[in-house]
Amino acid sequence: MNTEAFIRAYEESRNGASFFVQHSWVRNSIFSDGVLECAEAGCYWLLDILATEIRPANFRAKDSTLAIAVLTVANNKAELVIEFTDGDEQPFKKSISYTDMPEGEWTFYLALEEGLIKCILPSEY
């Protein structure tokens, strides 16, 4: 993981997303240029988790079109929590036993639009 490149891409001031890229395995999962820059720094695995484990049905089951994914990293371990509604009583949770991502809390937004799940950075909202 290139920590400096990840933090620089994550914290860069943006005015929306410039373009979207389709996930290589999951056709209905797309991510913004800012998320792509973060992934290129060494966290493609996070995009793989979001693309393969979060489906449009997850959004429909919660009667939502927006979700907030928060990855909390400490001691080379991470916890991914995705809330589909404000105060979601049963959010999606996944423990990651090892990561070289920088410690901290990293937030990504997910939106269901026309059958596509879009992932963007908070600064691209």
Say if pTM beats, i.e. exceeds, 0.85.
Answer: yes
Query: Could you write out the three-class secondary structure of 53-66?
Result: HCCHHHHHHCCCCE
Over its length of 125 residues, how does the chain's per-residue pLDDT go in tens digits? 999 999 999 999 999 999 999 999 999 999 999 999 999 999 999 999 999 999 999 999 999 999 999 999 999 999 999 999 878 888 999 999 999 999 999 999 999 999 999 999 999 98
pLDDT for the residue numbered 49: 96
Give the pLDDT confidence score for residue 3 in this predicted structure. 96
- Full set of structural domains in the chain with CATH: 3-124 (3.10.450)
Give the model's pLDDT for residue 99.
95
**Contact of 1 with 88, CB cutoff 8 Å:** no
Query: Residue 74: CB partners within 8 Å, gap ≥ 6?
Result: 103
Residue 6: its pLDDT value, please?
Answer: 97
Q: How far, in Å, CA of 92 to CA of 96, rounded?
A: 13
